[in-house]
Each structure stands twice: as structure tokens, then as C-alpha cells.
Amino acid sequence: MAMETRYQFRRIAHFSLTRGRQRWLSALLISLLLLLLKAPVPLYAGQGDVTLLDIKGPIGPAVSDYVVRGMEQAEQEGNPLIILRLDTPGGLDNSMRDIIKAIMTSPVPVACFVAPGGGRAASAGTYILYACHISAMAPGTNLGAATPVQIGGLPTPAQPKGSAGEGAKPAAEHPGLEDKAINDAAAYIRSLAEMRGRNADWAERAVREAVSLSAAKALEMGVIDILATDIPDLLAQMDGRSVKLGTDIVTLKTSGLAVRVAAPDWRTELLSVITNPNVAYILLMVGIYGLIIEFWNPGTILPGVTGAISLLLALYALQLLPVNYAGLALILLGLVLLIAEMFVPAFGVLGLGGLIALVIGSIILIDTDVPGMAISIPIIGSIALVSGLLLLGIMYMAIKAWRRPVTTGPEALVGAPGEVIDWSGGTGHIRIRGEVWKARGPEKLPGHSRVKVTDLEGLRLVVEQVQNSEQKEADHDI
């Protein structure tokens, strides 16, 4: 009995020990799993291709749409890395910030590569370079000159010396719009530099002093991470580097990865065309003139359809661009004045005023000095020339109509030939163009003689007898 009891006790003890080991092993595995989840892991090693997005020329709505959608597609495809190949003189602030926001929230590391040789990352390009997880440049490239250009508003007027009163504050305490824009841009790029661990002092100088750097100097001063000759060299140098994605540290494994260039699709190409300020301006004018022609000649259809489509495309493009609404209002006012010239006898005053308003409004329509984002002066001149020719045509037709003899109403009878029906004592009835009119004239006129109307007195005509030399012509007219 005692031996059986001891046997049962051993079995219970063995069972309890086994369950304790299982719990201990489970806790150990869970702990290791948590540590592995927090530890740096390689980025999709050997999976997917590197997505290459090309940014060439001014950064506008089309470029930002192309980059943002390209980054989203790269994430959906599980690609391990995105490279922005950059060559830009700058661009619009809103478009630049849309790209930077996409980089900041991207779960895929983004590398910026200023290339090829001779390229640059000026103005908005410098901000994008600082925002990327890895920044690189090719030899012969440069970056900088990131001072924001004036967009709208008025410059701060200079205060004359001695104009400040005794208790006036210094000018530095009254920053103008330009100062506020520069301060905001300097703080923005400094925050990007500090986030990526790059040279924040030089970044602020690039904004405040518009300084620039070559690729070699940028690497020396800690502005960029890598100096690479081409994409394969860039991938080789990036291999094994660690970047911060949110709260995680990710180690890049880029050796041997294939590169896939993400070409712009039809939507990006269309957006690139219509958001070109010159194209948007031409679409606006074509749209307005097309609708004017349709309303002037209802039923022509083609001008109305073309005008409606062009106007809608122009309005879509303009809402994406930095439009000065005063300029848009001046353009519309100018067109209204040109149309009014057709109906009001202003002898060209309305038309000339409309032409001036149209030209001024066109010049100030796009409210930015960013290179490549302004309306071309030759295009404005061409539109003004066409509108001027239209004005001259309207004035010519008005003068021609003014000089043309009256063809309707009683006044049209002056100079018309007629035939006497009856006549007595200087008055009688005559037939003109199949109508019988009362008339007065010479004391005696024989019946069926030919006369010509010289004046109109109410509903009575004043006539004179036609001379022999005019008889044949009068007979023909009657």
C-alpha cells in the first residue's frame, strides 16, 4: 500500500513538472517573439523590385500626383525601396509639401538621387532631398537656393529713415509677408534636417541666404549621405544601411535588386499638359470665345461643345495652380467689354479698355515666380493680337453699317423713285415700290410722271420731278 502511494505521488509530481516546463517554454517563446518583433529586420530581402520615379522639370500638380500614386503602387506591390531621381529647378509649395507628406508616411524607405550629372535639386528639390530617408547625388550636380519666392501679397514697404517716432518698434519686430514666408520655410527645412540627422545649419542658410552646394561639398558637410555615379552604384552603397521608418529601424538589403522605372500613365500625362499655365490659359480663352460664338450664332454646336469642354478643363487646371483671382476677374472684365463694344456705340473706348484689362489680367493670372510656372509673354501677345483684330473688325463693321443707306422704315424712301397717280395744287398721291403715299411737291405734275423723294414730313413725302437724264434710271428702279 505504501509503495503504491509513493508511485502515485511520483506520477503526480512528474505531471506537474511537465506542465510547469510547458508553461515556462511558452513564456520563453512569447518573449523571444516580442523581442524579434521589436528588433531591426531586413527590408523585404530578395523580394520585389526597386521602384524608380523620375522627377524632371518644375514640380507642379502633375508631378506630385505622379509621385504620390507611384509610391502607393510600390507599397501595394511590396517593393523594398523607392528611388526619386531628381532634376528640378523648384516648384510650387503645395505640390512639394504633398510629396514630402507622402515620403513621411511611406512604409517603404525612399531614397532621393539627384542625377544625372548636370542636374540640380534647387528650391523645392532641396526640401524633398532633406525629407527622404537616404539622400544621394551624382557628381556634377548641385542643390540649394531654397529661398521661397514671393507668391501673392505685397512686399513690405521700406520705412524711411527718421520716420519712426520715439516710441516706435524696430523694423525687425514688424515682419512683412516675405519675412514670414522665409521664417516658415527655414523652420520647415530645419525640422526635416533634424529628423534625418543631416546638416540643419546649412539647410537654414539655403533658405535665408539662397546658398548652393556641389555634390562633393554636400557629402563633406553632411547634407547628403551618398555620392554615387549611377543607380547600381547607389544600390551597392545603400546595402546594409539602416533607416528609421516611424518607430522602427530598418536595415536595407539592396544588393542585386532589379530596378523598375515607373513611367507616367495617361492620367499623369494629361494632368501635366492641362496644368501647364500656358495650356490652361489657352483653354480658358478658347472656352470663353467658343461659348461667345455659340451664343452669337445658336445652333452651330461645334463652338459650343469645344468651348464647354475647354472651359471645364481650364477651370480644373486653374484650381490646381496658384491663381490670382484679380487677374482672372480682369480677363473676364476685358472680354465683357469687348463684347459690349458690339452693342454699344462707344467708338472703340469699351473695346480698348477691354483689351487693356485682358492683357493685364493675363500677365498677373498665375501668382508665382517659380521657373516654368508662368504664362509666356508671346502667348499673351498672341491672344491680345487676336482680340485686337476682333475689336478692329467690330469697329470696321460698325462704321460700314453707319455709312450704309437706310434700307428699312420710312427713312429708306428718301431718294427712292416714284410715279404720280394724281396731282393737284402741289399735292397728290404717288406710287413707290407698290405702295401709295401722300406727297407734296411742284405746283403742277402731269399724271404718270416720274418723281424722286427728297424728304419725309411725318407720313407725307416731299418729291421733285425727275429730269430727263434720270428718267431711264427711275423707270428701271420702279
Q: Which residue has the higher pLDDT, 453 or 159?
A: 453
Place of cell 495617361: 266
- What pLDDT score was predicted for residue 228? 93
Strand partners for 418? 451
Q: Above 70 in pLDDT, residue 38?
A: no
- pLDDT tens digits, one per residue of 252-262: 888 888 899 98
Q: How many CA atoms lie within 13 A of 321 on its CB side?
A: 33
- Can 180 be counted among the known catalytic residues? yes
Which of these is catalytic: 38, 56, 101, 180? 180
Please answer whether residues 444 and 434 qualify as being in contact, where contact means their C-beta atoms are separated by less than 8 angstroms.
no
Place of cell 475689336: 391
- Can 438 be counted among the known catalytic residues? no
* Cα–Cα distance measured from residue 359 to residue 179, given in angstroms and rounded to the nearest whole number: 31
**Of residues 291, 323, 322, the one with CA closest to residue 309:** 291
Q: Above 90 in pLDDT, residue 171?
A: no
- What pLDDT score was predicted for residue 406? 58
The DSSP-derived string for 68-86 is HHHHHHHHHTT-SEEEEEE
Domains and CATH numbers, the chain: 42-151+178-265 (3.90.226.10), 267-403 (no CATH), 410-477 (2.40.50.140)
Helix (H) / strand (E) containing 439: strand 435-440
Under DSSP, is residue 360 helix (H, G, I), strand (E, B) or coil?
helix
Which of these is catalytic: 95, 123, 272, 362? 123
> For 27-31, 54-58, 304-308, 372-376, which range has the lowest pLDDT when averaged over its residues?
27-31
> Distance from first CA to last CA of the chain, Å, rounded?
155
* Cα–Cα distance measured from residue 307 to residue 290, given in angstroms and rounded to the nearest whole number: 4
Place of cell 423723294: 453
- What pLDDT score was predicted for residue 164? 39
* Cα–Cα distance measured from residue 96 to residue 70, given in angstroms and rounded to the nearest whole number: 15
Q: Model-level pTM?
A: 0.67
Radius of gyration of the chain (CA): 42
The DSSP-derived string for 397-450 is HHHHHHHSPP-SSGGGGTT-EEEEEEEETTEEEEEETTEEEEEE-SS---TT-E
C-alpha cell at position 11 = 506520477
C-alpha cell at position 78 = 511590396
